[in-house]
Structure 1
C-alpha cells in the first residue's frame, strides 16, 4: 500500500547560521556508551550516525573536553589527537551521506567516578551525587567531589575552548555547550549544588558566571555562529534543584544573547508554560526545542511529531528528538510518509555496547 506524504512544518528547510538544513528536525545528543575505553570513537559510531544523516542537524552525544570531566565508561572524548581522528571518521561518514553535525561538549562535574576517569571528580562545591553511578565494576556510590579552585575554573574554561577547536579539526560544523541535565555547568547554576561564597556562587549572576565564561571562551575560539548552548529549565535529573528556575534561565539567556550564538537548545520545552515564551522573547537567534515527551515510558506513536509541531507554532525554529531518531534511522522519511515508527527496544541495550540496539534498527523497505 502506497503511503501518502504528509505535509508538516517539521519537514520544511531552515537555516542555522551558515548552514542550510533540509528540514527542521534535529537529532538530539544521546549518550550510548559505544566509544572505546580511551574515549576514541570507532567505525560502529560512524555507521550509527551516518544512518541518521537525513536529520536536518545531528548533535553528537556528550563528549568530554578533558579527562576529569568523564561521566561513565566508554564515553567519547575530544581532548587528544586520537579522539580527533576517531571523530573525523564519524563526520566523514555523515558528510558523505549528506548530513551536518555539531558536537556536544559535556563535563560531568560530580557526575563521575575515579573508576571511570582515574581522577577525583570536580564540582562547584563538595556535594556528592545522591545516587550510585555506573562504573566498569558495576554501580557504585558516588564520591565526594573536590571543590573547584579559581585555577580549576580557569583551566576548565580553557579546556572547553581547546575542545571546541579540536571539534572543528574533527570535521564538526560547530559545538553545543552542555549546560543542562545536572552536569558541571548546571551544577554551578543550581542552588543545591553550588554553595560557593565567591564570585561564582550566591546570586543568580554569580551562579551563571561560569557557564557564561565557558560559552564566551568557546565562541572566541571558533566563532559564535558555530556555538550552541543546551539548557534544561526545571529538570531535576542527577539530583539537581535549581531553586529559582524562573529567574535563572531568563538571566542566562540575557547574558548570552549579545554573543550572537548559533542557537539555544531548550530541553523538555513546553509551549503551555510561560517560561518557554519568556526564553523565546529573550533569545535573538535560533531556538531549538526538545518536546516534553513522557519518560520513562514508551515513545508516542508519532515519535513526538505533534508536540514538535506545537513547539514550532509557539515560536521554536527547530525541534530536537532523541528516542525517535535512536529507533528510526530514517525518521525523516517515515514522518514524510506517515509510516509507522519502530518502537525503542527496551531490552537493556541502550548503554551496553555492541551493534544490537544501536545500528540494527530497520529502515523502511524501498
Structure 2
C-alpha cells in the first residue's frame, strides 16, 4: 500500500521532481526563506518532548500565549459583527513599524483591498458570488510574507517580547482572514479541496539542531509529534524546488557548518466514513480541509508549486540519509505524515456542550487514520519496533473511537 502510494506521488505526479536541472525559472531566490529554514530563523515548530531546543516552537510563556490564542479565536468568531473593530486593530498592528506601505505595486494593492474589504465564510448558497483572495495573495508576496512572518514571530514565538491581548487578537484575526480565503477557495474550486500528496520543505540546520531532530526520531511514537499551532508553512509539491532553495541557502552561509535536511510530508485525508459520521452527528458544523491547500494558481510565483500548510500537526515517521541528494555533503530526509482536515470553521464555535465530544471524536478519528497510514509505512520499510507500537496504538484507539461514535 505504501509503496504504491509513494510511487504515485513521487513518480506519476511529475518526473521533474527526481531530476535536477539548470533551469532556475521555477524559483525566485529572494524568496528562499519561504521554503528553507536556517539557523536562528528556523520556522515555527513545537514538540513537547523537545521544549528547550531551537528547531521547535517553544518558550516559557508558550502555554499562556496559546491559551490566549484559543480565547481570541472564540472571541473573534462569536463577535464577527465587530469586524470593523478587529480590522482597525489589525491595521494598527501592521503599522507599528511606522508604515504599512509596500514597495511593490501589486503587494500594495492586495494589502489595501484586504484591509478595506469585509469578508466572511461562504456557504453553498453564495459560493458563486465574486470573491478575491487578497489574504493569500499578500502572504505569497515577498514583502507581505516578510511582514506577516515578522509580526507573527514577535507575538507567537519571542518569549522575551511583551504581548498584549489586543496584539494576539489582531494576529489571530489576520490568520482568520487567511483561513476564510482558504476555505472559500476550496468551496468555489472543488478540485482544490481535500488535497492529498507529498510536499517538501527544506531546512539548513546547525549540528545541535540536527541532533535535536535525531533525538526526536528516537522518542516513543507518542512524543514524535511536531505541531505548528495557528502557524503557516510554505511547502512545495516539487522536490526539485525545495532542493534548489536549499542549495542556494548553503551557498550563502559563511562558516559552512549548516546541514541540509529535507522534510518530506505525506498529506492524507480523513477516512470518508469518518467524515460522514462526524457531519451526521454534528450537522451544524463544518469540517474543512484547509490544513493543506494547493495555492499555485493564486500565488504570485506559480512555478514554486506552493501548497500552504495551515496549522499542521505532523507525526514523524523516519529520518535517514539520502545519498541521491547532491549538496557536497550528506543530506538527510525527515519523513512525516499529517491530515489535511480540521475543525477550523466558524461553526465550531457554536457547538456548546457538544464541543468536548466533537473535539475528542475528531481527534481520535485523526489518530486512527494517521496511525493506519504509519503502520503500512513501517511494514513497507521494515521498521518492526515502530510497527508493533502502531499496532498497539490502534488496538486501543479503534475501540475508543467506536465508543465515541456510539454516543
Structure with bigger helix share is 2
Normalised to the residue count of structure 2, the TM-score between the two structures is 0.26
Query: Comparing both chains, which one has the higher relative contact order based on Cα–Cα distances under 8 Å and sequence gaps of 6 or more?
Result: 2
Normalised to the residue count of structure 1, the TM-score between the two structures is 0.28
Larger radius of gyration: 2
